[in-house]
Structure 1
Amino acid sequence: MQTTLTSKGQMTLPSAARTRLGLEAGDRLLVTVVDDDTIILKRPSPKPVKALRGLLARPRRALTVEEMDAGVAAHLKEKHGSRSAK
């Protein structure tokens, strides 16, 4: 497969390569140039779960099991109406 670099420094990854790798518009790739001028394109690894730490505000207090059960029950009732669980 071959591609051409544009004047803006862009290139089109051939369709066969995109299809084989399951790439879609907007996907990000990491570019690495190795010693022999080989260019390696890789998908970045997903961020570890630890990266999510601090994303949400801390609750004022911990909920009791009964409060959690009541919240789940209210959500299910709202989502599914009055149907009973099987």
Structure 2
Amino acid sequence: MASATVTSKGQVTIPVDVRNQLGLSVGDRIEFIQNQETGRYEIVPATRSVTALKGIIRKPAKPVSIEDMNAAIAAQGASAR
């Protein structure tokens, strides 16, 4: 069984065996999810591949031109001042 120690800053080093099983590498994010049945927390990778994001945002009804985008950015910037 893998174990780790919590530092005074609340940090934990995930053991290499656990990182390998989860497929984690430098810069990856993880999520702590509480299992409602057991009350225990589960650690799951929070990283997704770009292909997994396909379809999250639908295509606009009509194409947006660069000029329209620049105008929208300028309008938003002007209203923020």
TM-score class, shorter: 0.5 to 0.7
Deviation at 1:42, TM superposition (A): 1.0
For 1:1-86, list aligned pairs within 5 A: 1-35=2-36, 36-44=38-46, 46=48, 47-51=53-57, 58-59=64-65
The count of residues paired between Structure 1 and Structure 2 equals 58
The normalised TM-score by structure 2 is: 0.53
- Distance of 2:7 and 2:22 partners within structure 1: 23
Cα RMSD (Å): 2.8
The normalised TM-score by structure 1 is: 0.50
Structure number with greater CO (CA < 8 Å, separation at least 6) is 2
Structure 1 residues 53 and 40: alpha-carbon distance in aligned structure 2, compared to 1, 3 A threshold: farther
Structure 1 residues 37 and 53: alpha-carbon distance in aligned structure 2, compared to 1, 3 A threshold: same
- Distance of 1:53 and 1:12 partners within structure 2: 41
Specify the structure having the higher radius of gyration (Cα). Answer: 1
Structure 1 residues 44 and 52: alpha-carbon distance in aligned structure 2, compared to 1, 3 A threshold: farther
Deviation at 1:12, TM superposition (A): 0.7
- Summarize deviations over 1:38-64 as a string: whole Å, max 9, x none: 22111236445323757xx8137xxxx
Q: Which runs of 5+ in 1 are unaligned?
A: 61-86
Find the counterpart in structure 2 of residue 83 from structure 1: none
Question: Which runs of at least 4 in structure 1 moved beyond 6 Å after TM superposition?
Answer: none
